[in-house]
Structure formats: structure tokens, C-alpha cells
């Protein structure tokens, strides 16, 4: 081995693999983590006590009441007295317009003014529209100056804009009366432009949701197929690791080759099709993504991407052809270890369950924290007023000095906020929520890594397999990790969480500086983001190997990380060749599973095969279930193969330790399998 620092470990006559007489490690960090979790629970309780998610779900009228809730249960829509005062629909979605608002049963279906209603003596019409008036304004005989034909959107009444040729209309009219003068309907376009974009996005989202309702059971079937295929691969790797590795390599190359041929056929068939030769830039963004499949340039891009990936894979395999045999033997050893600890294949389900709890707790706490504010009312005025935008109290506003000084002013709901100490520190509570989310998520991942490492290490260091292994190696390893090494897990995950929160802050700063013209600041920020990205990757690599060493020897985190680092550096050539080649082979296995299931999903949902036309559901976008199946299949394959990857990494560190501690003599025999001894050209001497 290449010695970078220190000497390889000397022979320890008492060493028998993972030590059993362990002690608690990193106790201080364990206590700190427990205190942080208790604080996290307290923050959640505080948020749930003060928060009210209805503030972001339901619109709020000028009195701070929720439309569609309580006594306004039958009035779910919000009506604005003067839509012209709303700068844009985004203001309507995020803030309050400076105009009276009231909850109504339905939006007005015609355009007219109050004066017109009186002149035509349509008293019944006034009674019909009386539900749009605020009670206080009605008592003072004040009403909306005009009503515009509207349609409900996001529980709010938006003007019904249309077109007659090239002329924009509202309620089938080209003009409307705002009570003072005749306005063109196009004056409402500026206020409705963003709402149209949001509406189109909402329509696409509704179509996607409808596609999911029609295809969800077929998606589950495809994902179940991915589980079955993954299990078949695991079983075949157990007994036919060498053959399966070569089969995976050949089939991945074949899948990419088929993709290139299929895209080429599509590209050629669209040659004489009208409109197929326009560029993607000319086409622009289209909500219907199937339009892109009728463009030749789309298929050309697919051909180039697949060809590049195919060439890269072939070149890598050519250069590593002499090392594949070593990787195959390492896979065989990992297959035997997984075979003795079959329950490890399902451990990712437990990790996923814990991560789901962490994500759900963070999400719910974040929502309740963001809605932990109180309604704030401001003075809105149409004439000059010294009290404009001052805080007011609606209950006694009519008798206040503000109303006396500004007779035409109103006390309307403005936003949710607050001036109490709790509200002032909400931003810090949100930061604490995000930081603990990263810490807990990393802790759960670390627990899974150490548990699997302990189980596979017990396999490697058992002289007589499986007789010398624990009865339930996975449960025993999980118990050791939680009982003795919670502090080490918290320590490693804390370091990673700090780096991740710094990356989040850098992304936030970058978002704020997008419009800045300081080139040096942008360059410096880009360098910092790159450096911390690299640092996060390095820390993840070191943490993974440190957890393996903790699982083997039971030492604290820092010492385990140091031992793992120097052990890897002393064997850096083997690390690059064996470990990474194995990772590459596992990655090819993931691609193969995703490719096989993805091809099946494509032919099924697209209806390009006659055999599936009767069974396939009718969808707006058939790419929706296909993408879902691809992502789900990759996650499933990653879950199964991550166990293999952890097994390979653990066995790799174990046999590096074995090589340094032992020499094959009767007093110091190698504990690795005969196959690994043959690959490494080592052997144990007879007694």
C-alpha cells in the first residue's frame, strides 16, 4: 500500500473484529442533540398553538374574516369593490388590495353601475347585488361604484375577459362604466395578465391531476414491477454475480443503442411532416408537452444525448476492462454478505419511513410558523389623509379621530403580522426549524449507514460464517448504534447540517443579488457556492467511512474519521479502482432497471403498441405517468442497490484492515474469503 502518513496498524492479538465491550461515544454531542430535539418539539408546540393554516388557504375580507368558514360558510368567494386599484393578481394572492372586500356566495354575472340600477328602477337587482356590500357600508348607504361580470378563480372574483376579433371585452362588452367615466375593457388587461398565466398553469395542473386519478393504479403496478425486477437482480447477484455484472453491462449498452435507433427512426419519419422542421426556440414554451415530440429537433437532441452517454460508457468500460474481474469478486463477496443478512434489503423502507416523519414535521411546523401572525388593519383613503397607512382598529374606527380627520377613509384588513416578542423572533424560529430539519434528516441517513455497516462487518469478521454471526445481525447493529453511538451519529450529521444551511444561505443571497451589477460579488458568491458544494460531497464521503469505522471498532467520531481517512489514503489506488468501479457497476444496474421499466411504461401509456391500446387509460399527457414511473423506479432501484453499495464499502474497509493487521501466518491469518485472497494473490499458511 501507499503510505502517506503513519504506519499501518500493528497486530493486536486480542482483536476479533467488531468489539463487543463498547462504551458510549461523543456523549456531549449526544446531550446537545437531545436538547435540540426537545427544543424542536417546543417550537412545534408553540407554532401549532399560535398558527392557523386557514390564513394561507382561505381569502380574507376587509374585516379579517375567512371566506367559506364559520358564519361565512356559504360565502366562499372574495369580491373586490374596485378591481382597478389592484396592481396585479399576484397582489391579490399574496397581499390585500387597497379597496373594500367582502365574502360572497357567487361572483356578479353582469356589468353595471349603481346609478344605472336606480335609473332603470331595478330594485330587485339591487337586492340581488346587496350580498356584495359590506354591512357597515350598507348602513351608511355606500356601495360599490360598479360591478363587473366576473368568474371565480382561486376563491376570488376576477373580471371575465374575452375577445371579439382583436378587441378585448369584459362581459361581452368592449367598455364598462366605473361610476365616473367609460373605460375600455383593455384597461383590465394589466391587472389580469399574470392571472392568465397562473390560470393556464392551474389548468395544466388540473389535467395532470386528472391523469394521475386515471393512471395511479397502473403506476403502482409499474412500480411493483420495478420492485420485482430489483429483487430478481439481487437474487441473481447472490448466485450469478459474475454473469450478472457482464449481463448488466451488455444490456445497458443495448438499451442505449435501442434508444438511439428509436429516436433516429422518429427523426427520419418526421422529415416531410409539415411544421416539424421548426426549432425549439421558435416553438417556445408549450403547456402541452406532446407538441415537442412532433419536432425533429427534439428527437435530434435525444439522439445526441444518448450517443454521448453510450460513448462515455463504452470508453469507461474499455479502460477498466482489466479491473472488472476484481470488482466482480468484490460483488460476489457482497452478495454472500447480503445473502446472510437478507433483512438488510428492506432496511431502506425503515429509513424512508423515518425521513417521511422528519419531512412531515418540518413542513407542518413551517406552515404553522408562517401563519402564526395576527391580522393588522390599516387606514386606506382616496383623498389626502395624515393617517394614511396607519394601524387602526375596525371596531371603533368610525368614532376615532382618524375617521373624523379623514371622513372618506376606511379601516381595512391589510396583512398578517404582529409586534409581540413572539412575532419578532419568528424568523429565528423558522431558521431553527430548517436547521433541525437538516440535522435530523442527516441523522436518520447516518443511522441507516452505521446499522448496515455494523451488520456487514459482523459477517466479515466472523471466523466461521454464519455460526459466529449474531442471530439477528441487523437488529443487533441497530441496537448498538442507538445505545452507544447516538453521539457520533449526531456529531457527523451536525457537521453536514451546518454546511448545508450555509449553502441554503448562499442560495438565498444569490437570489437577492440577481439584479445586482457588481460582477466581483457575483464571482465571489459563485466561488463560495462551488467550494461548499465540494465540501459537502467530501464530508458525506468521510462521514460514510467514519460510520463504518465506528461500527467496527466503537471509537468516537473524530478518531474513526481520522483512521478511515488515513486507511483510504494508504490504499488510494485500490479505493479508486475497486470501490469506484463497483459503484459504477451498481449504477449501471440502476440504469438497466429504470430503462426496462421505463420502456414498458412508454409503450403502455403512449398507446404505440396495439397490445396495450384497450387497457391503457386515456390521458391528457401520457408523459406524466411515464416520468412518475421513471423517478419511482430509480428510487426503488437506488434503495435496493444502496444496501449493496454500503455492503461493498464496509467489506472494502474491512479487508483493507485485514491486509494491514494480518499476514496470512497461522498466528495472524487473513479473515477474508478464499475468492478475495485469490484475487489479491494472497493466501493463508497452513498450521
Cis check: omega of the bond before 466, within 30 degrees of 0? yes
> What mean pLDDT, rounded, does the chain reach?
76
Pairing of strands 175-177, 182-184: antiparallel
Are both 165 and 264 inside the same structural domain?
Answer: no
User: Which position has the higher pLDDT, 589 or 13?
Assistant: 589
Q: Quick one: three-class SS letters along 493-549?
A: HHHHHHHHHHHHHHHHHHHHCCCCCCHHHHHHHHHHHHHHHHHHHHHHHHHHHHHHH
Are both 101 and 121 inside the same structural domain?
Answer: yes
Using one digit for the tens of pLDDT, what is the confidence trace for 608-640? 666 666 666 777 777 778 888 888 888 888 888
Q: What pLDDT does residue 166 have? A: 63
Strand partners, 175: 184
| Residue 162 CB contacts under 8 Å (≥ 6 apart), including other chains | 168, 169, 170, 172
User: Which position has the higher pLDDT, 476 or 328?
Assistant: 476
Query: In the predicted model, what is the mean pLDDT of residues 283-312?
Result: 79
Q: Position of cell 451488520?
A: 455
In a domain, 244, yes or no: yes
**Which of the listed ranges 239-253, 377-391, 488-502 does the model predict with the highest average pLDDT?**
488-502
Q: What pLDDT does residue 423 have? A: 67
Q: Position of cell 474519521?
A: 561
In a domain, 376, yes or no: no
Q: Coil, helix or strand for 367? A: helix
The band of 647, judged by pLDDT with boundaries at 50, 70 and 90, is: confident
Are both 155 and 233 inside the same structural domain?
Answer: no
Strand partners, 78: 103, 156
Question: For residue 82, what is its C-alpha cell?
Answer: 374596485
Cα pseudo-dihedral 396, 397, 399, 405, rounded to 10? 160
Question: For residue 554, what is its C-alpha cell?
Answer: 466503537
* Closest CA relative to residue 581, chosen from 517, 657, 645: 645
Strand partners, 161: 170
Query: In the predicted model, what is the mean pLDDT of residues 545-568?
Result: 90
The band of 542, judged by pLDDT with boundaries at 50, 70 and 90, is: very high
- Is the distance from CB of 183 to CB of 170 less than 8 angstroms? no
Element spanning 170, H or E: strand 167-170
Q: Position of cell 447516538?
A: 486
- Is the distance from CB of 25 to CB of 550 less than 8 angstroms? yes
pLDDT at 14 over 70: no
Burial letters 302-317, b for 16+ CB under 10 A, else e: bbeebbeebeebeeeb
**Which of the listed ranges 169-173, 214-218, 363-367, 556-560 does the model predict with the highest average pLDDT?**
556-560
Q: Which domain covers residue 473, as residue numbers?
A: 27-49+202-367+425-685
Nearest 5°: phi and psi at 338?
A: -65, -35
In a domain, 12, yes or no: no
The band of 436, judged by pLDDT with boundaries at 50, 70 and 90, is: very high
User: Which position has the higher pLDDT, 440 or 572?
Assistant: 440
Using one digit for the tens of pLDDT, what is the confidence trace for 558-584? 999 998 899 888 877 667 767 667 777
Ramachandran region, residue 393 (left: φ > 0; alpha: ψ -120 to 50; beta: rest): beta
* Closest CA relative to residue 76, chosen from 95, 96, 61, 88: 61
Give the CA angle between residues 502, 505, 509 to the nearest 5°.
140
Are both 173 and 215 inside the same structural domain?
Answer: no
* Closest CA relative to residue 159, chosen from 84, 74, 66: 84
Q: Coil, helix or strand for 669? A: coil
Count of domains for the chain? 2
- Is the distance from CB of 61 to CB of 102 less than 8 angstroms? yes
Using one digit for the tens of pLDDT, what is the confidence trace for 257-274? 988 998 888 888 887 777
What's the chain's length in residues?
A: 687
Strand partners, 182: 177
Cα gap 501→503, rounded to integer Å: 5
Where among 180, 214, 238 does a domain terminate? 180
pLDDT at 165 over 80: no
- How does DSSP assign 115-142, residue by residue? HHHHHTT-HHHHHHHGGGS-HHHHHTT-
Please count the other Cβ atoms lying within 10 Å of the Cβ belonging to residue 471: 7
The band of 499, judged by pLDDT with boundaries at 50, 70 and 90, is: very high
Q: What pLDDT does residue 486 have? A: 92
Question: Among 162-171, 211-220, 380-389, 562-571, where is mean pLDDT lowest?
Answer: 162-171
Are both 280 and 333 inside the same structural domain?
Answer: yes
Rg of the chain, C-alpha, whole Å: 33
Using one digit for the tens of pLDDT, what is the confidence trace for 313-344? 888 778 776 667 767 777 778 888 888 888 88
In a domain, 306, yes or no: yes
pLDDT at 420 over 70: no
Question: For residue 246, what is its C-alpha cell?
Answer: 457482464
In a domain, 20, yes or no: no
Cα gap 595→584, rounded to integer Å: 16
In a domain, 187, yes or no: no
Q: What pLDDT does residue 140 have? A: 47
DSSP conformational letter for 295: -
Q: Coil, helix or strand for 173? A: strand
Question: For residue 562, what is its C-alpha cell?
Answer: 481520522
**Which of the listed ranges 187-191, 351-355, 463-467, 623-627 does the model predict with the highest average pLDDT?**
351-355
Query: In the predicted model, what is the mean pLDDT of residues 666-675?
Result: 74
Are both 525 and 607 inside the same structural domain?
Answer: yes
- Is the distance from CB of 549 to CB of 492 less than 8 angstroms? no
- Is the distance from CB of 396 to CB of 78 less than 8 angstroms? no
Cα gap 651→454, rounded to integer Å: 11
Are both 553 and 627 inside the same structural domain?
Answer: yes
Please count the other Cβ atoms lying within 10 Å of the Cβ belonging to residue 233: 21
Are both 156 and 232 inside the same structural domain?
Answer: no
Cα gap 541→556, rounded to integer Å: 17
User: Which position has the higher pLDDT, 285 or 34?
Assistant: 34
The band of 302, judged by pLDDT with boundaries at 50, 70 and 90, is: confident
Are both 360 and 430 inside the same structural domain?
Answer: yes
In a domain, 380, yes or no: no
Are both 569 and 604 inside the same structural domain?
Answer: yes
Q: What pLDDT does residue 83 have? A: 66
Are both 32 and 74 inside the same structural domain?
Answer: no
Q: Coil, helix or strand for 153? A: strand
* Closest CA relative to residue 457, chosen from 23, 9, 17, 11: 17
Cα gap 464→118, rounded to integer Å: 99
- Is the distance from CB of 677 to CB of 330 less than 8 angstroms? no
DSSP conformational letter for 398: G
In a domain, 158, yes or no: yes
Q: What pLDDT does residue 371 have? A: 75
Are both 223 and 91 inside the same structural domain?
Answer: no
Question: Among 164-178, 313-327, 403-417, 651-665, where is mean pLDDT lowest?
Answer: 164-178
Question: Among 12-16, 586-590, 658-662, where is mean pLDDT lowest?
Answer: 12-16
Q: What pLDDT does residue 534 have? A: 92
- Is the distance from CB of 378 to CB of 95 less than 8 angstroms? no
* pTM confidence score: 0.68
Q: For residue 289, with 0-12 CB atoms within 10 Å meaning exposed, 13-18 middle and 19 or more buried, which class applies?
A: middle
Query: In the predicted model, what is the mean pLDDT of residues 518-534?
Result: 86
Cα gap 44→323, rounded to integer Å: 53
Amino acid at each position: 500500500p501507499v503510505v502517506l502518513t503513519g504506519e499501518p496498524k500493528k497486530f493486536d492479538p486480542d482483536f476479533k473484529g467488531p468489539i463487543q465491550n463498547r462504551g458510549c461515544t461523543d456523549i456531549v454531542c449526544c446531550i446537545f442533540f437531545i436538547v435540540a430535539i426537545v427544543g424542536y418539539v417546543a417550537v412545534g408546540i408553540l407554532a401549532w398553538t399560535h398558527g392557523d393554516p386557514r390564513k394561507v388557504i382561505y381569502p380574507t375580507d376587509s374585516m379579517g374574516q375567512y371566506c367559506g368558514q364559520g358564519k361565512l360558510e356559504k360565502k366562499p368567494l372574495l369580491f373586490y369593490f374596485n378591481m382597478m386599484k389592484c396592481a396585479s393578481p399576484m397582489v391579490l394572492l399574496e397581499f390585500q388590495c387597497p379597496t373594500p372586500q367582502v365574502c360572497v356566495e357567487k361572483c356578479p354575472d353582469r356589468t353595471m353601475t349603481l346609478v344605472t340600477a336606480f335609473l332603470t328602477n331595478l330594485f330587485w337587482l339591487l337586492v340581488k347585488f346587496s350580498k356584495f356590500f359590506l354591512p357597515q357600508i350598507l348602513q351608511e348607504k355606500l356601495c360599490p361604484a360598479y360591478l363587473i361580470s366576473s368568474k371565480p378563480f382561486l376563491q376570488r372574483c376576477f373580471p371575465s375577459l374575452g375577445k371579439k376579433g382583436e378587441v378585448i371585452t369584459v362581459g361581452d362588452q368592449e367598455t364598462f362604466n366605473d361610476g365616473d367615466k367609460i373605460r375600455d375593457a383593455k384597461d383590465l388587461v394589466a391587472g389580469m395578465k399574470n392571472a392568465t398565466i397562473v390560470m393556464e398553469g392551474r389548468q395544466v395542473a388540473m389535467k395532470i391531476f386528472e391523469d394521475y386519478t386515471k393512471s395511479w393504479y397502473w403506476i403502482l403496478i409499474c412500480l411493483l414491477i420495478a420492485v420485482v425486477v430489483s429483487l430478481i437482480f439481487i437474487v441473481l447477484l447472490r448466485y450469478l454475480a459474475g454473469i450478472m455484472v457482464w449481463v448488466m453491462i451488455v444490456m445497458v449498452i443495448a438499451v442505449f443503442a435501442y434508444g438511439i435507433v428509436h429516436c433516429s427512426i422518429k427523426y427520419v419519419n418526421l422529415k416531410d411532416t409539415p411544421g416539424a422542421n421548426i426549432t425549439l426556440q421558435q416553438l417556445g414554451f408549450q403547456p402541452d408537452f406532446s407538441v415537442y415530440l412532433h419536432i425533429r429537433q427534439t428527437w435530434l437532441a435525444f439522439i445526441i444525448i444518448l450517443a454521448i452517454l453510450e460513448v462515455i460508457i463504452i470508453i469507461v468500460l474499455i479502460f477498466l476492462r482489466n479491473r472488472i474481474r476484481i470488482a466482480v469478486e468484490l460483488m460476489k463477496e457482497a452478495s454472500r454478505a447480503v445473502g446472510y443478512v437478507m433483512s438488510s434489503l428492506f432496511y431502506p423502507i425503515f429509513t424512508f419511513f423515518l425521513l417521511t416523519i422528519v419531512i412531515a414535521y418540518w413542513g407542518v411546523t413551517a406552515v404553522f410558523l408562517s401563519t402564526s401572525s395576527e391580522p393588522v388593519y390599516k387606514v386606506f383613503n382616496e383623498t389626502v389623509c395624515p393617517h394614511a397607512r396607519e394601524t387602526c382598529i375596525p371596531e371603533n374606527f368610525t368614532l376615532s379621530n382618524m375617521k373624523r380627520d379623514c371622513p372618506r377613509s376606511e379601516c381595512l384588513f391589510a396583512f398578517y403580522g404582529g409586534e409581540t416578542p413572539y412575532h419578532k423572533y419568528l424568523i429565528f424560529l423558522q431558521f431553527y426549524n430548517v436547521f433541525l430539519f437538516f440535522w435530523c434528516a442527516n441523522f436518520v441517513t447516518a443511522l441507516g449507514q452505521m446499522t448496515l455497516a455494523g451488520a456487514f462487518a459482523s459477517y466479515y469478521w466472523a471466523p466461521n460464517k454464519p455460526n459466529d454471526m449474531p442471530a439477528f445481525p441487523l437488529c443487533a447493529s441497530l441496537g448498538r448504534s442507538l445505545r452507544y453511538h447516538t453521539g457520533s451519529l449526531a456529531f457527523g450529521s451536525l457537521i453536514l447540517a451546518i454546511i448545508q444551511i450555509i449553502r441554503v444561505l448562499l442560495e438565498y443571497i444569490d437570489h437577492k443579488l440577481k439584479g445586482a451589477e457588481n460582477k466581483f460579488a457575483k464571482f465571489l458568491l459563485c466561488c463560495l457556492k462551488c467550494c461548499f458544494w465540494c465540501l459537502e460531497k467530501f464530508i458525506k464521503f468521510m462521514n460514510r467511512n467514519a460510520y463504518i469505522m465506528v461500527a467496527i471498532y466503537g471509537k468516537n467520531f473524530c478518531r474513526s474519521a481520522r483512521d478511515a481517512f488515513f486507511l483510504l489514503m494508504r490504499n488510494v489506488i485500490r479505493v479508486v479502482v475497486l470501490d469506484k468501479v463497483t459503484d459504477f457497476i451498481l449504477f449501471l444496474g440502476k440504469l438497466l432497471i429504470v430503462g426496462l421499466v421505463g420502456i414498458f411504461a412508454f409503450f403502455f401509456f403512449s398507446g404505440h403498441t396495439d397490445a396495450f391500446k384497450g387497457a391503457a387509460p386515456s390521458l391528457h399527457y401520457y408523459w406524466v405517468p411515464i416520468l412518475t414511473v421513471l423517478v419511482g423506479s430509480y428510487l426503488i432501484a437506488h434503495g435496493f442497490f444502496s444496501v449493496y453499495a454500503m455492503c461493498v464499502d464496509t467489506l472494502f474497509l474491512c479487508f483493507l484492515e485485514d491486509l494491514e493487521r494480518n499476514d496470512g501466518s497461522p498466528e495472524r491469518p487473513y479473515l477474508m474469503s478464499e475468492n478475495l485472497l485469490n484475487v489479491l494473490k494472497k493466501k493463508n499458511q497452513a498450521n
